[in-house]
Amino acid sequence: MPIVQIHLIEGRTVEQKRALVRKVTDAVCESVNVTPEHVKIILSDMARHDYAIGGVLKMDESK
Amino acid sequence: MPIVQIHLIEGRTVEQKRALVRKVTDAVCESVNVTPEHVKIILSDMARHDYAIGGVLKMDESK
Amino acid sequence: MPIVQIHLIEGRTVEQKRALVRKVTDAVCESVNVTPEHVKIILSDMARHDYAIGGVLKMDESK
Amino acid sequence: MPIVQIHLIEGRTVEQKRALVRKVTDAVCESVNVTPEHVKIILSDMARHDYAIGGVLKMDESK
Amino acid sequence: MPIVQIHLIEGRTVEQKRALVRKVTDAVCESVNVTPEHVKIILSDMARHDYAIGGVLKMDESK
Amino acid sequence: MPIVQIHLIEGRTVEQKRALVRKVTDAVCESVNVTPEHVKIILSDMARHDYAIGGVLKMDESK
């Protein structure tokens, strides 16, 4: 019954998300001995004005 | 002081959300002995490309 | 596929939690047209030194 | 390594968010003895039809 | 900068958690093109009286 | 109505948490123009076997 939430900076394609949920599901199943249908994954996009490290919004990062 | 977060597949109407928060609030109050003004609810819509079961995005499910 | 997380101040009995998940599940099913087996609920207890309103820990509240 | 998530009613400007992440980062660093680069902050906007107190959606509040 | 939170039923060993975070990190890196040091993972154990499907606590499930 | 959740590595004293919630509440109020009683903060401790960066549990980090 693992429930996984992944916060990502916005901009990933559906193709990347499709690969992400498949590979993360495999990783969970191999590690904690569950079957895939019990793994739920929520993807949450973060806009660049909604994520900060060190007190600086992603949109304001130099480089 | 219960704080409730509900992740839902996108597409519910405001009318459904209005009923949802009223009924869930009642359910919480009856069960754990709090008054309604202490119940906060956050609704979070999930796009069909942002939720997966069994490693498959909701948008890719064969019905 | 609703996923519900409920943060509660610690101290509820298992009997209260049992009622809580049953009633909240019913409330969700009636409101957004899903069947019960699709409703997952995570309960998260908060210690009184881990929750604050107005900048004051629950454990420090007068009355 | 603190990870902070802040749910806010929608409508804050980028300028307000910029101040918010800077000041919250400072507050965390002063209180729990970490350096700023270890503080991550996720901001999550809530629409007025996605937040409720007392069983009433924010959009339906009188006043 | 992906931030991953995984809710698991309690009872996994540290060895299983060690494998889990390594494999999930690899899965994220391969899928969305980040380097490992940017992947943070929070594991959250759920007691069997704190997780429900279909309105029934995990502890009450008839196997 | 901001709701703040802060994940911290375990080991902070109550005194540190008391300072943390007071200072973070002040930071939120100054930045987004709310009054303190509307700011709720949830603190969530993470054990050193429940947090990973770069695929390595905190408990396994060299130095």
Interface residue B37 vs chain F (CB under 8 A): no
Is D59 a residue whose pLDDT tops 90?
A: yes
Bin D30: left if φ > 0, else alpha if -120 < ψ < 50, else beta.
Answer: alpha
Judged by CB atoms closer than 8 Å, whether chains meet at F8 and D58 is answered as no
Q: For residues C46 and C55, what is the distance between their CA atoms, to the nearest angstrom?
A: 16
Q: What is the pLDDT of residues A4-49, one digit of tens each?
A: 999 999 999 999 999 999 999 999 999 999 999 999 999 999 999 9
Name C23's bridge partners.
none
Per the CB < 8 A criterion, the answer to whether E36 and F55 are in contact is yes
Position of tokens 């919480």? Answer: B28
Is C63 a residue whose pLDDT tops 90?
A: no
Interface residue E10 vs chain C (CB under 8 A): no
Give the distance, in angstroms, between the CA of residue D24 and the centroid of all CA atoms in the same chain: 9
Per the CB < 8 A criterion, the answer to whether C8 and C46 are in contact is yes
* Residue ranges making up the domain that contains F53: 3-60
pLDDT at E62: 79
Per the CB < 8 A criterion, the answer to whether A44 and A6 are in contact is yes
Q: What is the pLDDT of residues E35-63, one digit of tens each?
A: 999 999 999 999 999 999 999 999 999 75
Chains F and A physically touch (3 or more Cβ atom pairs below 8 Å): no
Interface residue E57 vs chain D (CB under 8 A): no
pLDDT at B3: 98
Give the distance, in angstroms, between the CA of residue E16 and the centroid of all CA atoms in the same chain: 10
Is F6 a residue whose pLDDT tops 70?
A: yes
Which chains pack against E, by 3+ Cβ pairs within 8 A? A, C, D, F
Chain B's closest residue to D60, CA to CA, is B18
pLDDT at D57: 98
pLDDT exceeding 90 applies to what percent of chain E? 95
State the ipTM, two decimals.
0.96
Q: What is the pLDDT of residues D15-42, one digit of tens each?
A: 999 999 999 999 999 999 999 999 999 9
Which of A47, A2, A40, A1 lies closest to A21 in space, CA to CA? A40
Judged by CB atoms closer than 8 Å, whether chains meet at F19 and D30 is answered as yes
Q: How many domains is chain F partitioned into structurally? A: 1
CATH number at residue D24: 3.30.429.10
Token pair recorded at residue C27? 């409330």
